[in-house]
Amino acid sequence: MIANIAIVFGAVTLALVLHALFMALGRRIAGRTPDSVDDAALALSARPSRWIAVAVALAISRRFLILPDWLDDLWQLAAGFIVPGLIGWLIITVVQVYIRAIELRYDIAVEDNLRARRRRTRAAILGRIVIIGVSIVTVALMLLSIPSIRSVGITLMASAGLAGLAVGAAAQPALKNLIAGVQLAFTEPIRIDDVLIIEGEWGKVEEIRLTYVVVALWDERRLIVPVSRFLEMPFQNWTRNTSKLLGSAFFWLDPTADVPRLRGKFEEIVRANPRWDGRAYVLQVTDTKPEAIEVRVLATAKDAPTAFDLRCDIREAMLAFIRDEMPEALPKRRLLYADQVSGGRRDDSRA
């Protein structure tokens, strides 16, 4: 017993020392590189690699131990539980390192972030799929190491078809959204940080899960939408290819309004506004009615929030100009008297 304890203690101590040396060497090498991905990889893999080193040391030291039969069976049972768990932990850590590397390498805070949003969305969805799959396989391997559970599993294989149909029918909504999440990762109708109009609400895609999407609305609420909703129902994506937008504002004015003068003032307002991105602007009469005309102004901005503020600025400035310098352009209601209709002839008996 003393010899066995000494062998196990020595093997574990040697494994921990070697692990510490390798981690110190890795930190020194990572410290010389400007990229922070290797630093994140070391930080995330430190714990699983330490326990894997201990497990390998115990597996090697087993050959030098003299154990009774019951303790040998317990050792094998523990190995059947621990080894698959450690391997699954390591694979999950590698996936998390990959996701973290994508987040560090592709920053969505920059102005032109289309490629970054595409990479981060795909990495987040596929990473979660791999983590769930590895977790299921790991738990299955751990349970199969128990002989009684293994025999029961073989017995239940005959009825697995009917059980699968029953479970599939009961979990149809969850499976539907899960499959839609996989499809979402490759077709990319939405990405992280996309600006959407969905269910009549304006918001940004904050988080994409396997079965649902979190949309951060403009007033700091959160809209939870099933993933299948984005594959079955129409919605607006304002940043599908680019974040640049064309903002519009409408004015109802008198038909006698001096449109060229309004156009000149509009040009002056737009060019002086720092929110305008310099691409385009236009003022047009888009509709006419007996009592008023519809004047539409368009101006471009770099993204949706800026376009919204630009539209508000244009409305305020144009209304102030019309109120102060062109009050005759405001809509008026005209009344036509009977004598005007008859060409100026008045009936003296009715006058």
Asked if 194 and 117 touch (Cβ cutoff 8 Å), the reply is yes
Sign of CA pseudo-dihedral 100, 105, 111, 113 = negative
Per-residue pLDDT reduced to its tens digit, 216-268: 998 889 999 988 888 888 888 887 777 778 888 899 999 888 999 999 999 99
Per-residue pLDDT reduced to its tens digit, 162-196: 555 555 555 566 667 677 777 777 777 888 888 88
Q: What is the pTM of this model?
A: 0.57
86 pLDDT higher than 90: no
pLDDT value, residue 25 = 85
| More confident site: 147 or 189 | 189
**184 exposure class (CB count in 10 Å sphere: 0-12, 13-18, 19+):** buried
Question: Which amino acid makes up residue 253?
Answer: L
SS3 string, the chain, reads CHHHHHHHHHHHHHHHHHHHHHHHHHHHHHHCCCCCHHHHHHHHHHHHHHHHHHHHHHHHHHHHCCCCHHHHHHHHHHHHHHHHHHHHHHHHHHHHHHHHHHHHHCCCCCCCCHHHHHHHHHHHHHHHHHHHHHHHHHHHHHHHCCHHHHHHHHHHCCCHHHHHHHHHHHCHHHHHHHHHHHHHHHHCCCCCCCEEEECCEEEEEEEECCCEEEEEECCCCEEEEECCHHHHCCCEECCCCCCCEEEEEEEEECCCCCHHHHHHHHHHHHHHCCCCCCCCEEEEEEEECCCCEEEEEEEEECCHHHHHHHHHHHHHHHHHHHHHHCHHHCCCCCCCCHHHHCCCCCCCCCC
What span, in angstroms and rounded, lies between the C-alpha atoms of 7 and 67?
12
User: Which pair of structure tokens corresponds to residue 64?
Assistant: 């030098």
Give every CB contact of residue 91 below 8 A, 6+ residues apart in sequence: 130, 134
Per-residue pLDDT reduced to its tens digit, 2-57: 777 787 788 888 888 888 888 888 878 777 776 666 676 777 777 888 888 888 78
User: Which pair of structure tokens corresponds to residue 33?
Assistant: 């590189």
